[in-house]
Copies of this chain bind each other. A is one copy, B any other.
Amino acid sequence: MSRPRAKLTKDFPGCPVESTLCFLDGKWKGVILFHLLEGKLRFNELRRKLPSVTQRMLTKQLRELEEAGILSRTVFPVVPPRVDYELTAAGRSLEPVISALAAWGSKNVTREDGQTVIRLAYETKTAPPERDAVDC
């Protein structure tokens, strides 16, 4: 488009969906919250649950969640270091959201031929088994 019309309407009414996604955004936040819903975890406990996340990344995601007020970080001044991560009240309030995400994923997502696809089990299909893929 050649008309800079978008600039005129700079004001964008906040979408509550995006508002929430905003806090879940980041590569590992979903899984992190999923695990923390079951109770507090130390840094390396979490790490062992996410074998392919680099330490740097895990730290980064945790710091972002902490800054957002979703989890708390408790440092014990001992050696070797001990740091506990635990959901705050705000974090626990996300439980229905995480549950909804988990429920849909469990029911509808599967992996086929190296792709993540929607299972579409609920669809009364007659046509060939379409496998709508997404590149992840």
In chain A, positions 99-126 with a C-beta closer than 8 Å to chain B are 99-106, 108-109, 111, 114, 116-118, 120, 122-123
Known contacts A19-B116, A20-B102; A134/B68 CB under 8 A: yes
B residues within 8 A CB of A98?
17
Q: Mark A16-28, 1 if CB is under 8 A from B, else 0.
A: 1111111111111
A38 at the interface (CB under 8 A from B): no
Given contacts A8-B136, A20-B105, A96-B100, 19 further A-B contacts (CB under 8 A): A7-B136, A9-B51, A12-B31, A14-B111, A16-B101, A16-B106, A18-B28, A19-B106, A20-B102, A21-B30, A22-B116, A23-B118, A23-B134, A25-B136, A68-B133, A89-B122, A90-B132, A93-B104, A93-B122
B residues within 8 A CB of A111?
9, 13-14
Residues of A with Cβ closer than 8 Å to B?
1-28, 30-31, 33-34, 50-55, 64, 67-70, 88-90, 93-94, 96-106, 108-109, 111, 114, 116-118, 120, 122-123, 130, 132-136
B residues within 8 A CB of A3?
26-27
B residues within 8 A CB of A7?
136
Known contacts A133-B67, A134-B22; A17/B102 CB under 8 A: yes
